[in-house]
Amino acid sequence: MNIRLTCLEELPLLMEMYEKARAFMQATGNVHQWVNGYPSEEFIRQEIEDGHSYVFVDEQGTLLGTFCFIVGEDPTYARIYEGAWLNDEPYGVVHRLATNGIQKGIADACLDWAFRQMDNIRVDTHQDNKVMQHILEKHGFQRCGIIIVKNGTERIAFQKML
């Protein structure tokens, strides 16, 4: 399995993955995250064009998963409530992790890859996203507090430093 930047022509496949991820979230009790068509095709297109969208591909070139990785300050992380970040050092951020629903271990591979890029990673997720919370805690991420995302809803903020 390889990780590489997403090509624009893969956008329709990514949107299918995000649709499957929304259905999985609904089925596992996370009914408030990624609603109203989020993330939109235009939003993901911009991430691809900005060089922040990555895909997992197998040896045959089949897309197995996708995520966004950005090095630098995330504006939604500027204010944290009910806690504090572990440090103010430069960090990378993982957003919008989704899979094809078939391949196991995508989240683990994503986080391992992210730590090869940066030794300080921040991630946020909805309080109803128990699956992602479990993955982050399994990987040693610490709950740091609550952030507010652009649509005004709360997310649990996590951070881990190597």
Q: In terms of C-beta density within 10 A (0-12 exposed, 13-18 middle, 19 or more buried), how is residue 89 classed?
A: exposed
Q: What is the pLDDT along the chain (162 residues), one digit of tens a residue?
A: 899 999 999 999 999 998 887 877 677 776 667 667 778 899 899 999 999 999 999 999 999 999 999 999 999 999 999 999 999 999 999 999 988 888 889 999 999 999 999 999 999 998 988 889 999 999 999 999 999 998 888 999 999 999
Q: Are 55 and 77 in contact (CB under 8 A)?
A: no
Question: Domain with 124 in it: what CATH number?
Answer: 3.40.630.30
- Residue numbers of the domain that contains 87: 2-161
Classify strands 53-57 and 63-71 as parallel, antiparallel or unpaired: antiparallel
What's the distance, CA 65 to chain centroid?
A: 11
Grouping H, G, I as helix, E, B as strand and the rest as coil, residue 109 is helix
N-terminal to C-terminal alpha carbon distance within the chain: 24
Q: Tell me, what amino acid is at 156?
A: I
Q: Are 54 and 83 in contact (CB under 8 A)?
A: no
pLDDT at 35: 65
What are the phi and psi torsion angles at 45 (to 5°)?
-55, -45
Grouping H, G, I as helix, E, B as strand and the rest as coil, residue 151 is coil
pLDDT at 22: 82
When divided into structural domains, the chain yields a total of: 1
